[in-house]
Chain A
Amino acid sequence: MSFISLLWVLLLGSLLGLELIGKVPPTLHTPLMSGANAISGITMLAALTLIVKAEGNLPLLIIGSISLGFALFNVVGGFFVTDRMLAMFSRKPSNKK
């Protein structure tokens, strides 16, 4: 990939992000933040690449592995916690007048 096309990717990605959430009910601010936060753990892909490319370089393998751990902590924890919050909204209101 040339640098220029990566810049295009960056630009378009940013524009997409700006457009995606226009109106958010305040109710969803916290879950949305938490969900977006989980997605930012996508750096796990970078960590994976690092490990695969390490070619037996032990310090690099260890750094990659720690990095992967941090990223997955973010991703798995983030999605779980978001789901926990959202589960409360979707529960059927039990007692309507």
Chain B
Amino acid sequence: MNLPVIIKFVIDLLAVLLLALGIKGLSKVKSARDANRLAAFAMLLSVIGLLSYYLGTSGIDLQSWTWIIIGSIIGSLLGAILAKKVPMTSMPETVALFNGCGGMSSLLVALGVAIFPISNNLENVDFLKSLINEVSISVSIFVGAITFTGSIVAMAKLQGWLSTPGWTQSKFRHFVNIVFAVASLIAFFDLINGNTSSIWLLVLVSSLLGIGVTLPIGGADMPVVISLLNSYSGIAAAAAGFVVDSQLLIVAGAMVGAAGLILTQVMCKGMNRSLVSVLFGGSLSAQSTTSSGSAEYTNITSCSVEECALTLEAANKVIIVPGYGLAVAQAQHTLREVTKKLEQNGIEVVYAIHPVAGRMPGHMNVLLAEADVPYEQLKEMDVVNPDFPATDVVLVLGANDVVNPQAKNDSSSPLYGMPVLDVQEARTVFVIKRGMSAGYSGIKNDLFDLPNTSMVFGDAKKVLSDLIGELKDLGVGEK
């Protein structure tokens, strides 16, 4: 072994170690931020390792440098700008977009190697080499393309650019996707047989497969899909690692792929959905509108902001249940103003965070943290559920399915079995909502019919700022 090889080996080893520590650290609140930086540093290190290796062996010509610099600058700059500018509320689609681009990168590498087979002048060519090469190129293209188109569709749906077309909810879609899958299998074997032109067929049908699988999935399940696609992009990276013969790529790709799968599983559990039903069950709302059509409310009490303020003033303990609607209305800062006033009046305020509150697990925590809510006030579902009977007022802000008692009481409900917050146990529940429309699941919420529930209709931000005014008039928070 010569020196450049040894140096690269040591650097790669270090990078893998740091990446593993990074992922591990990201799963703990205290170490998360440092862990993220550590992982970023490890990535930088891996680039330095690779470049120094080539500088020490074959050298890097000027032309290559030029294209490296062009690609890096444009990519990094756009990434940094987007990351700085994007509002916290649209985090899910941003992650989807980044993820899709990772998949695209793997796809392009494999495509490049396939069309211009330079990779054969890579070091030792053993007799299996060309077969392995073809297989890994195919896998890289297949997974990369699915990741790319799937992520882009996911992003477009989350952004509201794409809605769920009706035909995708019929059984017909399975047939279409099977056709795509079979076609990509044919292209795959054709490619291995040495027919290079079928690579375009593979690119086309795997792209279509990515679209076909993601398009029918409803908005509520999108986070799970993004997490799964994230895992795919790891697999695509590992496959690209086989293409260019890089152990580091394989390890890192495999790590992300496996960790992504676990995370997907964890998310599914929180939403009471199995991965299979997310992928093949179609949109939940489409099923339920046919099964339980009786979405009629009989006993709705609506009340004014003023009444709400009066009740809040008299409370000792208030629990806030934030949901998707709060995120959409971008009302987290206004909410913080309200709770500050209540706290100054000596009222205990706690936020109950359902595992899938917001648009993605953990998303609500990010949004509330952005609004300066102290971390200790955010309580997870299992911790806060026993507290509801001793609570005077619950404010439900833009949450719906996660507070539906049907999930506990009605075994015929599609929600049955989903862990929910037991808000109905509290003395008074105020639901701030724009109208009587159903949540993600499209299912009637029994909570709204209960005698201790009052609806405050209006946009979350508007209602909350009115509430601040009312509280001010009552002298709350001004000792």
A binds B: yes
Assess whether B86 is interfacial by the CB under 8 Å rule.
yes
Interface contact A46-B132, CB-CB below 8 Å: no
Closest chain-B Cβ to A65's Cβ sits at a distance in Å of 4
Which of these binds chain A: B73-81, B194-202, B435-443?
A: B73-81
The interface residues of chain B lying within 8 Å CB-to-CB of A55 are: 61, 118
The interface residues of chain A lying within 8 Å CB-to-CB of B240 are: 43, 46
Given the interface pairs A39-B19, A39-B43, A62-B67, the reply to whether A45 lies near B246 with Cβ below 8 Å is yes
Interface contact A50-B244, CB-CB below 8 Å: yes
Our pick among A17, A38, A60 for the contact of B40 (Cβ within 8 Å) is A38
User: Chain B 209-246 against A: per-residue CB contact (8 Å), 1 yes, 0 no?
Assistant: 00000000000000000110010011011101111111
Our pick among A12, A35, A65, A84 for the contact of B68 (Cβ within 8 Å) is A65
Interface residues of B in 42-86 (CB under 8 A from A): 43, 46-47, 50-51, 54, 58, 60-61, 63-64, 67-68, 70-72, 74-76, 78-80, 82-84, 86
Interface contact A45-B249, CB-CB below 8 Å: yes
User: How long is the Cα–Cα vector from A44 to B360 in the complex, in angstroms?
Assistant: 27
Interface contact A77-B375, CB-CB below 8 Å: no
Name A59's closest neighbour in chain B (CB-CB).
B116
Interface contact A74-B29, CB-CB below 8 Å: no
Interface contact A1-B83, CB-CB below 8 Å: no
Interface contact A79-B40, CB-CB below 8 Å: yes
Interface residues of A in 34-77 (CB under 8 A from B): 34-57, 59-77
User: How long is the Cα–Cα vector from A72 to B223 in the complex, in angstroms?
Assistant: 23
Given the interface pairs A10-B238, A14-B254, A38-B39, the reply to whether A86 lies near B32 with Cβ below 8 Å is yes
Given the interface pairs A1-B245, A26-B355, A37-B102, the reply to whether A13 lies near B255 with Cβ below 8 Å is yes
User: How long is the Cα–Cα vector from A83 to B40 in the complex, in angstroms?
Assistant: 10
Given the interface pairs A26-B380, A43-B106, A80-B80, the reply to whether A69 lies near B72 with Cβ below 8 Å is yes
Interface contact A73-B76, CB-CB below 8 Å: yes
Given the interface pairs A18-B259, A61-B64, the reply to whether A42 lies near B380 with Cβ below 8 Å is no
Our pick among B70, B108, B256, B376 for the contact of A39 (Cβ within 8 Å) is B256
Interface of B is mostly: helix
Closest chain-A Cβ to B72's Cβ sits at a distance in Å of 5
The interface residues of chain A lying within 8 Å CB-to-CB of B263 are: 21, 24, 29, 32-33, 36
Name B19's closest neighbour in chain A (CB-CB).
A39
Interface contact B241-A32, CB-CB below 8 Å: no
Interface contact B68-A36, CB-CB below 8 Å: no
Which of these binds chain A: B91-99, B156-164, B273-281?
A: B91-99
The interface residues of chain B lying within 8 Å CB-to-CB of A52 are: 54, 58, 60, 64, 68
Our pick among A11, A28, A54, A94 for the contact of B362 (Cβ within 8 Å) is A28
Assess whether B22 is interfacial by the CB under 8 Å rule.
yes
Our pick among A14, A50, A95 for the contact of B258 (Cβ within 8 Å) is A14
Assess whether B181 is interfacial by the CB under 8 Å rule.
no
Residues of B within 8 A of A (CB): 19-20, 22-24, 26-29, 32-33, 35-37, 39-40, 43, 46-47, 50-51, 54, 58, 60-61, 63-64, 67-68, 70-72, 74-76, 78-80, 82-84, 86, 88, 91-92, 94-95, 98-99, 101-102, 104-106, 108-109, 111-113, 115-116, 118-119, 121-122, 126, 128-129, 132, 226-227, 230, 233-234, 236-238, 240-263, 266-267, 270, 340, 343, 353, 355, 360-363, 365-366, 369-370, 372, 374-376, 378, 380
Apart from A21-B24, A28-B32: 15 A-B pairs, beta carbons within 8 A: A25-B362, A27-B362, A30-B362, A33-B227, A40-B236, A48-B50, A53-B118, A53-B119, A68-B71, A79-B36, A81-B86, A81-B95, A86-B32, A88-B366, A91-B369
